[in-house]
């Protein structure tokens, strides 16, 4: 009995049960088959999309967009965050405005950005950059503002030049927070990518593919795309963790 309980209590039981229930419900006709797809149909959709290459193309389009936007937003946020944390006057002048701007729900920027940057790729990437910008900014600011005053005094006594101060003190001290910020930024950038592909007029991308599938009432493809989007988020996060470890900070995880 004991091993049964141990097995049943494991994390794999529930997904398997759910999968079985899903398959059974579709095959026994408890779910409307005009609307629902069975697990096999989702697999078949995956195979078909891999074979005709449409999944790969959409992924590449989305990832390019995502990484371009993330790079712009994260870099701006990182530099501005470190700058504001170390230059008090700039902090007092700028931070309240930035804080107010942050209150605008992310997607409320879409109409504005589409007006200023156009409804095409520039608008999308601008939106993704904005999505990544704020978390990176806030965490870089927090990390660099928290440095122990004694270290800063010591640095002054030693007569450290500003760039040495940045490399030797500010960067290592702020790194854990920066890693958190980058991680959040990457997640928001991915969210922004999907959102941008829904809302801007789009050529290609996973989000657009998903909306097309919805228009065609293809539940199998919608579920497949959901899994793909979740999987990509996970992989991006792993990639960032790997990068953080490589930089010599194990990060918060």
Partner 1 sequence: MTDLSHWAAAGFRAGRPQLPLRFPKPRWRTSRALGWILPLLLLATWWGASEAHLVAEQILPRPENVARALGELAGNGDLKRNLLISLSRVAYGFAGGAMAGLLLGAGMGFSPSFARFVRPTFLAVSQIPILAWLPFFMLLLGIGEALKIVLVAKAVFTPVTLGTAAGIEGVPLRYLEVARVLQLSRWQTLRRVIWPAALPQIFTGFRYGLTHAWMALVMVELLASYEGVGYLMIYSRQLFQLDVMVAMMLVIALVGLFLDRLLALTERHLLRRYGAAS
Q: What residues line the site for partner 1 (CB under 8 A)?
A: 8-15, 18, 35, 89, 91-100, 103-112, 114-116, 138-139, 141-142, 145, 180, 183-184, 187, 190-191, 194-195, 198-199, 207, 210-211, 213-214, 217, 219, 222-223, 225-227, 229-231, 233-234, 237, 241, 252-253
The span from the CA of 46 to the CA of 111, in Å, is 34
15 phi, psi to nearest 5 deg:
-60, -40
Of 69, 178, 176, residue with least CA distance to 132: 69
Q: How far is the CB of 29 from partner 1 (least distance, A)?
A: 17
Q: Which tokens hold the place of 140?
A: 């870089």
Q: How far is the CB of 142 from partner 1 (least distance, A)?
A: 6
Q: How far is the CB of 15 from partner 1 (least distance, A)?
A: 5
Q: How far is the CB of 156 from partner 1 (least distance, A)?
A: 22
239 phi, psi to nearest 5 deg:
-60, -45
Would you say 169 and 157 are in contact if contact means Cβ atoms under 8 Å apart?
no
Would you say 164 and 215 are in contact if contact means Cβ atoms under 8 Å apart?
no
Q: Which tokens hold the place of 241?
A: 């963790």
Q: How far is the CB of 149 from partner 1 (least distance, A)?
A: 15
Other CB atoms within 10 Å distance of the CB of residue 188: 23
CB closer to partner 1 out of 1 and 35 = 35
CB closer to partner 1 out of 78 and 211 = 211
CB closer to partner 1 out of 160 and 237 = 237
The span from the CA of 27 to the CA of 106, in Å, is 41
CB closer to partner 1 out of 57 and 98 = 98
CB closer to partner 1 out of 170 and 225 = 225
């Amino acid at each position: 009995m004991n091993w049964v309980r141990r097995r049943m209590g494991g994390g794999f039981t529930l997904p398997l049960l759910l999968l079985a229930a899903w398959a059974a419900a579709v095959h026994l006709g408890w779910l409307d088959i005009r609307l629902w797809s069975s697990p096999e149909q989702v697999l078949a959709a995956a195979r078909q999309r891999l074979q005709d290459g449409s999944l790969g193309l959409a992924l590449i389009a989305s990832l390019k967009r995502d990484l371009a936007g993330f790079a712009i937003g994260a870099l701006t946020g990182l530099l501005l965050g470190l700058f504001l944390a170390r230059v008090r006057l700039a902090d007092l002048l700028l931070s309240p405005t930035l804080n107010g701007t942050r209150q605008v729900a992310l997607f409320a920027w879409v109409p504005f950005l589409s007006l200023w940057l156009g409804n095409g790729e520039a608008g999308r990437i601008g939106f993704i950059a904005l999505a990544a910008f704020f978390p990176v900014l806030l965490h870089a600011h927090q990390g660099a503002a928290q440095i122990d005053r004694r270290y800063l005094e010591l640095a002054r006594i030693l007569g450290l030049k500003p760039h040495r101060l940045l490399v030797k003190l500010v960067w290592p001290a702020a790194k854990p927070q920066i890693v958190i910020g980058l991680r959040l930024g990457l997640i928001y950038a991915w969210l922004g990518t999907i959102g941008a592909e829904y809302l801007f007029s789009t050529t290609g991308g996973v989000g657009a593919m998903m909306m097309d599938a919805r228009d065609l009432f293809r539940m199998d493809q919608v579920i497949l795309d959901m899994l793909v989007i979740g999987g990509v988020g996970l992989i991006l996060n792993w990639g960032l963790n790997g990068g953080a470890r490589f930089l010599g900070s194990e990060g918060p995880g």
